[in-house]
A and B are shown apart, each in its own frame.
Chain A
Amino acid sequence: MTISRTILICSGKGGVGKTTLTANLGIALARQGARTVVLDADFGLRNLDLLLGLENRIVYTAQEVLAETCRLDQALVKHKQESNLALLPAGNPRMLEWLKPEDMQAIVSMLSERFDYVLIDCPAGIEDGFKNAAAAAKEAIVITTPEVSAVRDADRVIGLLNTRGVAPVQLVLNRVRPRMMANQEMLAVDDVTDILALPLLGLVLEDEQVIVSTNRGEPLTLNGSASPAAKAYTHIARRLQGEDVPLMDPAREGRTGLRAKVRRLMQTKIF
Chain B
Amino acid sequence: MTLQDLLDRILGRQPASATTARERLQLVLAHDRSDLSPELLDQMRREIFEVVAKYVDIDLEEGDVTLETEDRVTALVANLPIRRSMASSKPGS
Q: Which residues of A contact B (CB under 8 A)?
A: 147-148, 151-152, 155-156, 158-159, 162, 181, 183-188, 191, 195-197, 265-271
Contacts and interface: CB of A to CB of B under 8 A. Distances in A.
Contact of A184 (B18, B25, B29, B71): B18
Nearest to A181: B18
Interface in B8-65: 16-19, 21-22, 24-26, 28-29, 32-33
A195 B26 contact: yes
Contacts of B2: 184, 266-270
B30 to A, nearest CB: 10
Given A148-B24, A187-B22, 14 more contacts: A148-B21, A151-B25, A155-B33, A184-B4, A184-B16, A187-B18, A191-B22, A195-B26, A197-B71, A266-B4, A267-B3, A268-B2, A268-B3, A270-B1
Interface residues of B, number: 21
A64 to B, nearest CB: 40
28 contacts: A148-B21, A148-B24, A148-B25, A148-B28, A151-B25, A152-B28, A155-B32, A155-B33, A159-B72, A162-B72, A181-B18, A186-B17, A187-B21, A187-B22, A187-B25, A191-B22, A195-B25, A195-B29, A196-B72, A265-B3, A266-B2, A266-B7, A267-B2, A267-B3, A268-B2, A269-B2, A270-B1, A270-B2
Nearest to A156: B32
Contact of A267 (B4, B24, B28, B33): B4
Contacts of B4: 184, 266-267
B76 interface: no
B79 to A, nearest CB: 18
B86 interface: no
A185 B25 contact: no
Contact of B32 (A152, A184, A186, A188): A152
A16 to B, nearest CB: 15
Contacts of B6: 270
A271 to B, nearest CB: 6
A267 B18 CA distance: 11
Contacts of B3: 265-268, 270
A96 B67 CA distance: 38
B1 A271 contact: yes
A197 B73 CA distance: 10
B16 A269 contact: no
B18 A185 contact: yes
Contacts of A162: 72
Contacts of A186: 17-18
Nearest to A162: B72
A188 B1 contact: no
Contacts of A265: 3
Contacts of A269: 1-2
Given A151-B25, A271-B1, A159 B33 contact: yes
B13 to A, nearest CB: 11
